[in-house]
Amino acid sequence: MTTTDIARNFVQDVFHPVFQGLEASRISGRDIAAIVGVSPPTVSKWRTGRTRMPAVTLVFLTLLLAHWLDELEHLIRARSKTGQLSGLWRRDREGRLLAGRKSLEEQDAINTTLPAAALSGGERLFRDWWRVRAARPVSAGAA
């Protein structure tokens, strides 16, 4: 069995930490489905492992998570500097940020086993999403 075969099986058979991170970031399955261009039930099947998620999509979701966590961290810092946050708001967001970063770290480790084509394909999807987002800003639900 090659490394690529192992990675394909791993993508199919393992729970994906990226979903925990997206949940911590309050990104819904419907939001994920809309961004990826699939139905919400498909995202649910990926989440539970009932259906294989394309490795390219896994990389794309990982990059989205990293981006949204960076946005959340920036929001926390900006509100801290201006004094616009309560202790409860800050604790909630910092908890979400820590949980998301842990999931991102775990998913990044898994992604190192994926084929190079999946990595470059996921990066391309992220760049395409970024271009569309730059043209029409969309809230990531981090606030």
DSSP states of 43-71: HHHHHHTSSPPPHHHHHHHHHHHHHHHHH
- The beta-carbon contacts of 35-40 under 8 Å, at least 24 apart in sequence, are 35/64, 35/129, 36/60, 36/61
**What pLDDT, on a 0 to 100 scale, did the predictor assign at position 143?**
44
**What pLDDT, on a 0 to 100 scale, did the predictor assign at position 128?**
95
**What pLDDT, on a 0 to 100 scale, did the predictor assign at position 142?**
44
Q: What does pTM read for this prediction?
A: 0.79
Tell me what the mean pLDDT of segment 117-135 comes to: 92
| Backbone dihedral region for residue 49 (phi beyond 0: left; psi -120 to 50: alpha; all else: beta) | left
Tell me what the mean pLDDT of segment 45-59 comes to: 93
Q: How long a stretch of residues is the chain?
A: 143
pLDDT, one tens digit per residue, over 63-88 is: 999 999 999 898 888 887 777 767 77
Tell me what the mean pLDDT of segment 111-136 comes to: 92
**Number of neighbours of residue 121 by Cβ within 10 angstroms:** 18
